[in-house]
Structure 1
Amino acid sequence: MLLQANHIVSTEHLIDAVWGEDPPPSARGQVQICISALRRLLALIPAKGEIIRRSPGYCLQISLEDLDSYRFETMVREADHLAQVDAAEAAATLRQALSLWRGPALGGAVSRLLEGKALRLDEARQAALECCIDIELSLGRHRELVGELTDLVEHTPLRERLRGQLMLALHRSGRQADALEVYRMGRALLVGELGLEPGEKLQRLEAAILQGDDSLLLADAGREAVTLTPDQPAPSLRIPPHQLPADIQDFTGHDDLVDAAEEFLRVSGNTATPVVVITGKAGAGKSCLAVHVAHRLAKVFPEGQLYRDMRGSQQQNAPVADVLGTFLRSLGIHGPAVPGSVEERIAMYRSLLADKRMLVVLEDVVSETQVMPLLPGSGGCAVIITSRARLTGLPGALQLEVDVMEEASSLALIAKVIGADRVAAEPNAASALTHMTGGLPLALRIVAARLAARPHWSLASMVRRLTDERYRLDELAHGEMVVRKSLSLTYDGMGETARRLLDLLGLAEGETIPYWFAAAVLDGETYRAMDRLEELVDARLLDVAGIDGGGYPRYKFHGLIRAFSRERLDEHEDDTGKTAALERVLGCWLHLAEEAHRRLYGGDYTLLHGDAPRWRLPEDQLDRLLTRPLDWLEQERANLCAAVVLAGEHGLVEVCWDLTVTLVTLFETRSYFEDWQDTHESALSAARLAGNERGMAALMCSLGSMHLNQQRPALARPLLELAFTRFQELGETHGMALALRNLAMLEYRQGSPDRAEHLYRQALTGFQQVGDLVGEAHVLAKLAQIELDGRRYAEAEAQLGHALNIARQTGSLRVEAQVMHKLGKAHLLSANYKQAEEVGSAVLRMVRENSDIIGESYALHSLGVVYGHRRKFDLSERALRHAAEIRESVMDDLGAAQIRLDLARVLAVQGDVVQARELAEKAQALFQEREATQWTREAGRIIADLVVRERSGRLAER
């Protein structure tokens, strides 16, 4: 926990660290016991350390100044800065840092996981020691160092840098023979144990000592070495720098990017330095790609490669002056010869590279400003840059973006690490792993490395470990490869507002995030929302998913970044802050959904609303988003349904039921019955739990309406009757009118027109009392249907004319089209076929313009019947078949059966009695199954008529 001080360490990670691959069954309990013991011990020491329980594990909170590892790293960095101005002080600082050590790091640890971390710490100590000795050698302290170096070489005989330092110290002390003997002993050891020759640097040093190269001394040739004075530079060994990290043996994919980078960087003869910028999100493999390309180009740039991590994703970036100083020392300029000012360092750096063929690799660059001083001045060199930001300000640079890997490349990478046979044995599990990691190369490598280290694990077991998103980032860690750490570097380098926005975006549940979401969670101006989100896009923590109907960008998370965002949200935001942000987001979804309904219906008609707070958008943005309200509802369907569930889970019941019933505008128009049912049942559970009577009544009424739409009267009736009773108890006139209207529809469909008319008239009174014009128009149209059934055509047309005037008053084209559809049926039944066709054609144009697919099926049905009466049989059959296909496509089998009854009539008139009877009998069977009494009787009449026709036809044939 000290290695990850002030960060959460999961219990699973602690178990792995202590017991490795074979933890005892009581591991979790033992961890808790150990934590308790550690807490008691921490209370006894002066350092103020505290272990806090934080899901999914523990966090050891401590001042960094009390950590010897932090103090060591701080002093090493300080020495790195001092080396440019005061070498003696730099050496003293490094010696002070080294004094903090008391033997190997984590001494006594036997955990395989901890051994890797200890090795990293020991390597840092060794590097600091070797750097310190380099500085002290440059200060002329070679005689004092001989004894220490002799001991160090004896204890670590395979470290060539130490052996070279001892050889140099002996040579400068006038002991050339001893220096050469140190080389020969080292060579014998390397050849004998490893079968390797010493490295190039050590071989060159031996050759220089043999030749008596005066440049190895700290004074003029032929004179005894003396201590360096401030105005004397420390000569170097003049060995070309080859600073690239090791290439990745199992590098996979991105062949097009590798080829593009190589082709661009191989071009010679230009006066400008070719620059390739590789961008991508954390863990996408930018560094792997850059190093891989650099190694492939090593022969093109024979004079070496310079490499530096610019720490762009960290709060403290690498200062340009420091990087230039490091590069100058690598190019042979040491000590006081390194200029003090940045401008002078840039000039010297470019002068040294002017006639060379060298490759410069700059990793994790934060901006163009940071990198411009490090670009060589001539075309002989080349530069590869990696960055999480798009560095479009570098003129002429080739911009390459590393995206996540496709499934085929992801599987190939896993197979290279664990073996193709294991992947072939579990293809489905392997595919699932690629999806769970989102194709992120770092995550894939971690998964593959863990499976390679545990050959007894199945791929399916790894899938199970990654299934729970809450712990997925804990599982994606292996040795020094940690997805969370990679993301944290970017996160920690951002400003406070950007970090908080990323945290709060963890509240998003849908696949995409609209632009206004940022303003809602931060409770800020929507005009700045896109700028806030684009900061995260630039940092590669968010992707652009496309453009919505209003012309605004939409955004999306990579799956692992979403998990990271939710971790940070739980860590940094308390329940009050999360709830307040969630209320604003849900308030905006409700605001937009009810406004879409208003624009479709002309007002808040046929809809109950609650008193949940709204978070409103400016009018101009609202107009752009809702230019086509139904299209907006369709586009946001997944987000809106997810918002309902989210509201219910967090106990925000008022917004939950309000948003749910508002969405019926979309569900009914597009026949999204599954969404209708799922959202309503979820909201109803939340309303019951909270005892919200009005919300329960509204939801039951709406669910009853859904069952009516699907011709399920047995399911609809109890819900509607219970909803009416609760509205009556609450004195909710509008709710009672809605329930009565639906109950009237139920009675009509079950063959009780008188009972239906009575209920319709009660509903009409209620709608008139509350000023619900659309509800009033709907009921008038239904009453007109009853008049039509009684062949009272004049009365029906009068009622429909009244309903049409009301519909036009609301400005709702959809309601107008519904009433006109009824009017067309009135003309049809009164045998005014020409006018019926004109009205039907107008309705068809209106519903198609509104993208109302259900309305289109009704319009085609009516037109098909009219065409039949006008003996346009081809048009009739085509319209009826299309109408039936639409009904079937939205799972309305009963509606399709009703249409096929009319198709049967048309086919019979044309003489195809057999096919007509077949259609009618299938329809009758479905009506009987659904208890549609009226339609069952109608089908029976048609079948009887067709039987008579068949007999007549057979008699005529005889």
Structure 2
Amino acid sequence: MHDGETSLPLAPGRQPIILGALLLEVNRTVSTEHLIDAVWDDDPPPSARGQVQICISALRRLLALLPVGAEIIRRAPGYLLRMSPEDLDHYCFEQMVQDAQQLVQKNDAITAAATLRRALSLWRGKALGGVVSRLLESKALRLDESRLAAQETCIDLELSVGRHHELIGELTDLVERNPLRERLRGQLMLALHRSGRQAEALEVYRAGRAHLIDELGLEPAEELRKLESAILLGDDSLMLDTPSPVAQATAALAGTSPMPLTVTPHQLPADTHDFTGRRDLVGKAEEFLRTGDAAAVRIVVLSGKPGVGKSCLAVHVAHRLASDFADGQLYRDLRSSQLEAMPLADTLGTFLRSLGIPGPAVPSEADERISMYRSLLADRRMLVVLEDVAGENQVMPLLPGSAGCSVIITSRSRLTGLPGALQLDVDVMDQEQSLELIGKVIGADRVAAEPEAAVALTKVVGGLPLALRILAARLAARPHWSLASMVGRLSDEWHRLDELAYGEMIVRQSLSLTYDGMDDTTRRVFRLLGLAEVEAIPAWLAAVLLDGDVQRSMDRLEQLVDDQMLDVSGVDAGGDPRYRFHGLIRVFARERLHERETRETMLAVLGRVVGCWLDIAAEAHRRLHGGDYTVLHGSAPRWKLPQEHLDRLLASPLNWLDSERANLCAAVLQAGEHGMDEACWDLAVTLVTLFETRSYFEDWQRTHEQALGAARNAGNRRGMAALMCSLGSMHLNQRRPSLALPLLESARTHFHEIGEIHGGALAARNLAMLHYRQGALEKAAGLYDTALTGFGEVGDLVGEAHVLANTAQIELDRREYGEAESRLDRALKIAERTGSTRVQAQVLHKLGKVHLLNEDFERAEQMERAVLRMVRDNSDVIGESYALHNLGLVYGRRGSFDLSERTLRQALEIRESVMDHLGASQVRLDLAEVLAARGDVVQAVEIAEKALAMFQERQAEQWSRRADEILAALLDRR
């Protein structure tokens, strides 16, 4: 360690890790448990605490040698490194980045670039270089990412002022060290192009594209492809008279600010790089969406039979128009052609979350979701793409109410009931377009060499784009085949020629050509993929289907992509590709599945698939809660992925659960349909971690009802009890005590009769919560005691912490503050042992209330600030508003009225942004009292009156009474 002049020799091992952990939280308390985890991960020695104390003593002596004021002090429950932020390089770095942002906004690119160069000069290598700690690694990576983002922004600025010659060497080195960083690659291409080195610029693109395909199986992003095209065309806009680099720098610097409460979604699937024909349709759609009636939402409906290319055309038009819609694009496949169409509530819920509304704030009723959705789009320019729509009734609730938005719809039917919509019929390709498409896939030279055979081939498949692509892919994979030989193969199957005139039979026979050309193993993977009910196919699924090696099985999926029987739809949390079927190809796969596989085989494969979903979901729960806490598991067999692969998938467990939500729910439903009761109920209750955190109540109910039916049919009493207990918890979350009570009582009876202690504790805890809300405090306290005993017997630490915190709330209501604090301290120690920050935040929030009521404002502030850090780290916007609300109260009680007002207004802004109007009015009441205490009684009255009106509108009688009392007191003072 050094301060720029004085170097301090740190002993390798523990000292650098502990100092790094303290520096990352400078002027904030770091618990001893956190330091132990940082040094030893999950396997600390018995002497860990003593060794930490020894390291702290050694670090204190070393810090005393520095000329800066830095000291480590003991602060329960750990230590605090106290020093001036100005003595920290990272603080200075962030300040200079903010200064550069302000300079960019003033159009002073030169000074902004110089400021960023000074900021970057503070770095002396990777963040926490040489410190080996899994716990600190992610934070170090975030620091390194902020450095690289600042460097990219600096280069954008310097490119904008003509320093492209000087940047080539630096950019070449950066691209070599970060080959997947497309922004850097684009900057190097631009610098080379402006230096008159177009050939080298294009070679940089080709090398990057090859690397992306080799590493990820993906094409470069649209921006990089457009840059390559512009260089090829000699586009003048790439030269220095364009303002885009400064504009890009402004956007990049703005990205360093805290995450906004509303987001700009970009949900379009990838455009087709070899899109062919449809010029007339593309032109009509673009012209209408750009110049149509400005007073109404512009709607384009693309209709046609399956396989004709409606989706491809819709996405292509949407990408061409993307820059016209500054607020982003929403995309949803409504799947009306499948057996189960996408429920309207699901679609609205997904759109609301994409627009920045957190799960708990999403209304449960469809009508309320529609109102919120249209309110959010009212002042935006947004493009909405809705695919596979069945009829007008399905799509009407999803149409924005703002004339600034436009909609593209695909459907098998003409939706003539949509007023003002432009109806475009998508037909098969003509001969010219068909030949162009085949030429793009197999090469124009092969088409030119056999023109008659090429024409005959397009006629055989009737110009259907899906069939053309499949045939062309097979020819491309077999360059030794002639086009005439392919025509001959098709001509020999005269029944196929008959079928080509009848709808979907065209696709089925065309797909057979590709299917027949596969090897046996790839054909089997293709068939078995039809067994799994998944929206997006994860790469590891092939290994489960074959009961084999993950990497080798993934190669089979890539072969299917090469054969154009699968599409790459994105990348999963572990960095592996995700795949998807075209709807008709999935039908074809299922036909072959039932032709070739026995029922016994299909059930065995499905058991492995469900078992793998269950194993990953259970591990995600363990990582979120620190163990198998507050959840019951069954005895269903599991299929385990390699540990390394599992670790990559679950780098962020909750995000993985959220990204796979549709697949996980489908696995529950499919297990229930096939009588796999044990796996079905186990997976359903395991997913409650996701359902509760994100407020996915529809999924919660749907999966549990399916699992409950399967458990009842099998006479599975333990599974039935677990599901009834979980459903009761769901009704409690939704404030439905009359529905929760019979379920919870029945669950508790079943658990008692079968001797299930853990389940009995869960049911008792939930019943206690119900009785507490109904005002039966004594009954609730007794049930909490019962639950606490049960959780203690089975070692459920999170369950114990929850019960202790809830019991403390009863003591708070009785004004037994000392007893409540003691119980919460015990709960916090347990929560810290689990590592569950969510539970810790809940306990600390209640502790903050205790200290506030005891007028220990310093400790109350400390607790709420700790809560604020935790909820922000977890992107919990609702939790942030609660923490800010309590902090505002603390500041007001201390007489810091200006700070109190600012903090309460922050809480109010969050509540309003997520349309939590009742919660916002609760904040307004406290804000009114703060304003009155500061002497601004007039404004206080206005705010209190607004809060009262909302309480009366929502019939919140208790809050209305409090508002009346506050308002009366304010009016007396006016």
Scaled by the length of structure 1, the TM-score of the pair is: 0.50
Secondary structure of the 1:554 match is: strand
State which of 907, 911, 914 in structure 2 corresponds to 1:884: 911
**Which residue number corresponds to residue 945 of structure 1?**
965
**Mapped pair 1:916 → 2:936:** no
Q: For the structure 1 residues 804 and 647, does the alpha-carbon distance in structure 2 shift closer, same or farther, using more than 3 Å as the test?
A: same
**Which residue number corresponds to residue 874 of structure 1?**
901
**Which residue number corresponds to residue 627 of structure 2?**
603
Write the mapping of 1:291-440 to structure 2, written as runs, cut at 5 A. 291=435, 305=450, 364=472, 366=474, 370-371=478-479
**Mapped pair 1:476 → 2:536:** no
**Which residue number corresponds to residue 424 of structure 1?**
none
**Which residue number corresponds to residue 686 of structure 1?**
710
Does the 8 A contact of 2:924 with 2:943 survive in 1?
no
Secondary structure of the 1:511 match is: coil
Q: For the structure 1 residues 566 and 372, does the alpha-carbon distance in structure 2 shift closer, same or farther, using more than 3 Å as the test?
A: closer
**Which residue number corresponds to residue 589 of structure 1?**
613
**Which residue number corresponds to residue 45 of structure 2?**
none
**Which residue number corresponds to residue 809 of structure 1?**
833
Write the mapping of 1:218-237 to structure 2, written as runs, cut at 5 A. none
**Mapped pair 1:766 → 2:766:** no
Secondary structure of the 2:855 match is: coil
Q: For the structure 1 residues 853 and 590, does the alpha-carbon distance in structure 2 shift closer, same or farther, using more than 3 Å as the test?
A: farther
**Mapped pair 1:783 → 2:785:** no
What residue identity is the alignment partner of 1:829? L
Does the 8 A contact of 2:608 with 2:639 survive in 1?
yes
Cα deviation, residue 685, structure 1: 2.3
Tell me, in whole angstroms, the C-alpha distance in 2 between the residues paired with 1:294 and 1:614: 45
Secondary structure of the 2:479 match is: helix
Does the 8 A contact of 1:907 with 1:915 survive in 2?
no
Scaled by the length of structure 2, the TM-score of the pair is: 0.50
Give a deviation string over 1:737-757, Cα, whole Å, max 9, x none. Answer: 111111111111111222211
Cα deviation, residue 555, structure 1: 0.6
**Which residue number corresponds to residue 833 of structure 1?**
857
**Which residue number corresponds to residue 253 of structure 1?**
278
Q: For the structure 1 residues 367 and 862, does the alpha-carbon distance in structure 2 shift closer, same or farther, using more than 3 Å as the test?
A: same
Cα deviation, residue 873, structure 1: 3.6
Tell me, in whole angstroms, the C-alpha distance in 2 between the residues paired with 1:499 and 1:300: 31
Tell me, in whole angstroms, the C-alpha distance in 1 between the residues paired with 2:843 and 2:823: 10
Tell me, in whole angstroms, the C-alpha distance in 2 between the residues paired with 1:736 and 1:545: 44
Secondary structure of the 2:799 match is: helix
Cα deviation, residue 557, structure 1: 0.7
Tell me, in whole angstroms, the C-alpha distance in 2 between the residues paired with 1:887 and 1:736: 37
Secondary structure of the 1:541 match is: coil
Does the 8 A contact of 2:568 with 2:580 survive in 1?
yes
Tell me, in whole angstroms, the C-alpha distance in 1 between the residues paired with 2:447 and 2:924: 81
Cα deviation, residue 505, structure 1: 0.5
Q: For the structure 1 residues 498 and 303, does the alpha-carbon distance in structure 2 shift closer, same or farther, using more than 3 Å as the test?
A: closer
Secondary structure of the 2:699 match is: helix
What residue identity is the alignment partner of 2:737? P
**Which residue number corresponds to residue 513 of structure 1?**
537
Tell me, in whole angstroms, the C-alpha distance in 1 between the residues paired with 2:585 and 2:802: 49
State which of 559, 562, 574 in structure 2 corresponds to 1:535: 559
Q: For the structure 1 residues 370 and 624, does the alpha-carbon distance in structure 2 shift closer, same or farther, using more than 3 Å as the test?
A: closer
Does the 8 A contact of 1:784 with 1:795 survive in 2?
yes
Tell me, in whole angstroms, the C-alpha distance in 1 between the residues paired with 2:672 and 2:473: 44
Cα deviation, residue 857, structure 1: 4.0
Secondary structure of the 2:611 match is: helix
Identical aligned residues as a percent: 55
**Which residue number corresponds to residue 437 of structure 1?**
none
What residue identity is the alignment partner of 1:756? A
State which of 511, 516, 535 in structure 2 corresponds to 1:487: 511
**Which residue number corresponds to residue 265 of structure 2?**
none
Tell me, in whole angstroms, the C-alpha distance in 2 between the residues paired with 1:519 and 1:362: 25
Tell me, in whole angstroms, the C-alpha distance in 1 between the residues paired with 2:673 and 2:710: 8
Secondary structure of the 1:546 match is: strand
Q: For the structure 1 residues 556 and 294, does the alpha-carbon distance in structure 2 shift closer, same or farther, using more than 3 Å as the test?
A: closer
Q: For the structure 1 residues 913 and 368, does the alpha-carbon distance in structure 2 shift closer, same or farther, using more than 3 Å as the test?
A: closer
Cα deviation, residue 367, structure 1: 7.1
Q: For the structure 1 residues 900 and 679, does the alpha-carbon distance in structure 2 shift closer, same or farther, using more than 3 Å as the test?
A: farther
Cα deviation, residue 794, structure 1: 2.4
Does the 8 A contact of 1:857 with 1:887 survive in 2?
no
Q: For the structure 1 residues 300 and 848, does the alpha-carbon distance in structure 2 shift closer, same or farther, using more than 3 Å as the test?
A: closer
Q: Unpaired segments of 5 or more residues in structure 2?
A: 1-275, 283-310, 313-426, 458-468, 488-495
Q: For the structure 1 residues 896 and 284, does the alpha-carbon distance in structure 2 shift closer, same or farther, using more than 3 Å as the test?
A: farther
Does the 8 A contact of 1:868 with 1:906 survive in 2?
yes
Does the 8 A contact of 2:904 with 2:923 survive in 1?
no
Q: For the structure 1 residues 731 and 830, does the alpha-carbon distance in structure 2 shift closer, same or farther, using more than 3 Å as the test?
A: same
Does the 8 A contact of 1:867 with 1:873 survive in 2?
yes
**Which residue number corresponds to residue 400 of structure 1?**
none
Does the 8 A contact of 2:471 with 2:513 survive in 1?
no
Secondary structure of the 2:887 match is: helix
**Mapped pair 1:721 → 2:764:** no
Tell me, in whole angstroms, the C-alpha distance in 2 between the residues paired with 1:800 and 1:547: 43
Tell me, in whole angstroms, the C-alpha distance in 1 between the residues paired with 2:448 and 2:928: 87
Most deviating of 302-311 and 674-683: 302-311
Does the 8 A contact of 1:287 with 1:363 survive in 2?
no
Which has the larger Rg? 1
State which of 836, 849, 855 in structure 1 corresponds to 2:879: 855
Tell me, in whole angstroms, the C-alpha distance in 1 between the residues paired with 2:892 and 2:596: 69
The CA RMSD measured in Å over matched residues stands at 4.1
**Mapped pair 1:579 → 2:723:** no
Give a deviation string over 1:484-534, Cα, whole Å, max 9, x none. Answer: 000000001101111111111112223201111111111111122211110
State which of 742, 756, 760 in structure 1 corresponds to 2:780: 756
Tell me, in whole angstroms, the C-alpha distance in 2 between the residues paired with 1:915 and 1:385: 81
**Mapped pair 1:523 → 2:547:** yes
Cα deviation, residue 897, structure 1: 6.6
Does the 8 A contact of 1:897 with 1:926 survive in 2?
no
Secondary structure of the 1:584 match is: helix
Cα deviation, residue 904, structure 1: 5.9
Cα deviation, residue 887, structure 1: 6.5
Secondary structure of the 2:579 match is: strand
Does the 8 A contact of 2:811 with 2:819 survive in 1?
yes
Tell me, in whole angstroms, the C-alpha distance in 2 between the residues paired with 1:485 and 1:785: 67
Write the mapping of 1:169-318 to structure 2, written as runs, cut at 5 A. 253=278, 289=433, 291=435, 305=450
**Which residue number corresponds to residue 655 of structure 1?**
679
Most deviating of 504-513 and 911-920: 911-920
Does the 8 A contact of 2:470 with 2:511 survive in 1?
no
Q: For the structure 1 residues 709 and 692, does the alpha-carbon distance in structure 2 shift closer, same or farther, using more than 3 Å as the test?
A: same
Tell me, in whole angstroms, the C-alpha distance in 2 between the residues paired with 1:772 and 1:499: 47
Cα deviation, residue 690, structure 1: 2.5
**Which residue number corresponds to residue 767 of structure 2?**
743
**Which residue number corresponds to residue 560 of structure 1?**
584
Write the mapping of 1:689-704 to structure 2, written as runs, cut at 5 A. 689-704=713-728
Q: Unpaired segments of 5 or more residues in structure 1?
A: 1-250, 258-279, 313-360, 375-382, 388-442, 451-474, 929-935
**Which residue number corresponds to residue 231 of structure 2?**
none
Q: For the structure 1 residues 734 and 853, does the alpha-carbon distance in structure 2 shift closer, same or farther, using more than 3 Å as the test?
A: farther
Cα deviation, residue 630, structure 1: 0.7
Q: For the structure 1 residues 505 and 310, does the alpha-carbon distance in structure 2 shift closer, same or farther, using more than 3 Å as the test?
A: farther
Cα deviation, residue 678, structure 1: 1.9
Does the 8 A contact of 2:805 with 2:823 survive in 1?
yes
What residue identity is the alignment partner of 2:941? V
Tell me, in whole angstroms, the C-alpha distance in 1 between the residues paired with 2:477 and 2:749: 71
Tell me, in whole angstroms, the C-alpha distance in 2 between the residues paired with 1:289 and 1:386: 19
Tell me, in whole angstroms, the C-alpha distance in 2 between the residues paired with 1:830 and 1:533: 63
What residue identity is the alignment partner of 2:963? I
